[in-house]
């Protein structure tokens, strides 16, 4: 994989590594070894961010030795960019592997995770909840001291509907 800032688009027709389709990891479930090999090759080629993220998406969803190595390498290369770090959290949160709930808990203790950063919370917890169709999971959001107050208030605010500046419930306008 190229260093950040050196990625460039592949010339037309030069795809030496099959491009892994985003979100289509199910076709690699039948042969995880082949899927991991293709994804690792695409990840290592690092032709552009789209190809790298697509490969990492496949690797994040396959329980193979290539998975932790690629995730770690990606984070080491891109941890300086907040948006890419959010993507790194999201890819792990949307994994269908059985250990994902525990991994999400571990990631809430990662140095780059800050529950005061709404984008970071959305990238990890929001994606996990959407992918799992899970109800609010305050236990996942505990910080190292076990404090859930801000998280619980945030979840309540999201569930109570739109509010005006004073905090009063807004009623939908009725067309006459």
111 and 131 part of one domain:
yes
Q: Please report whether residue 170 resides in a domain.
A: no
pLDDT of residue 26: 55
Total tally of structural domains belonging to the chain: 2
Half-sphere exposure in the Cβ direction for 164 (13 Å, CA): 6
Residue 44 burial (CB < 10 Å; 0-12/13-18/19+)?
middle
Residue 5 to residues 70, 84, 112, 157, 170: CA-CA distances in angstroms?
18, 13, 21, 39, 46
In tens, the pLDDT along 31-63 reads 778 888 889 999 999 888 989 999 999 899 888
Does the model's pTM come out above 0.75? no
61 and 110 part of one domain:
no
- The yes-or-no verdict on residue 157 having pLDDT over 60 is no
50 and 107 part of one domain:
no
Q: Please report whether residue 63 resides in a domain.
A: yes
138 and 89 part of one domain:
yes
- Using alpha carbons, select from 104, 168, 164 the residue that is nearest to residue 137: 104
- Domain, as residue range, for 22: 18-70
97 and 140 part of one domain:
yes
63 and 83 part of one domain:
no
């Amino acid at each position: 994989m190229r260093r950040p800032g050196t990625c460039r688009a592949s010339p037309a027709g030069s795809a030496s590594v099959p491009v892994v389709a985003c979100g289509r990891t199910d076709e690699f479930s039948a042969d995880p070894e082949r899927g991991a090999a293709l994804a690792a090759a695409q990840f290592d080629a690092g032709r552009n961010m789209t190809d790298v993220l697509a490969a990492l998406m496949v690797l994040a969803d396959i329980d193979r030795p290539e998975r932790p190595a690629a995730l770690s390498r990606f984070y080491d290369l891109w941890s300086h960019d907040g948006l890419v770090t959010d993507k790194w959290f999201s890819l792990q949160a949307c994994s269908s592997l059985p250990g994902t709930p525990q991994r999400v808990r571990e990631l809430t203790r990662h140095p780059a995770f800050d529950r005061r950063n709404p984008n970071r919370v959305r990238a990890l917890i929001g994606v996990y909840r959407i992918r799992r169709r899970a109800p609010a999971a305050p236990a996942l959001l505990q910080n190292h001291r076990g404090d859930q107050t801000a998280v619980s208030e945030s979840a309540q605010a999201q569930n109570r509907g739109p509010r005006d500046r004073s905090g009063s419930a807004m009623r939908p306008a009725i067309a006459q």
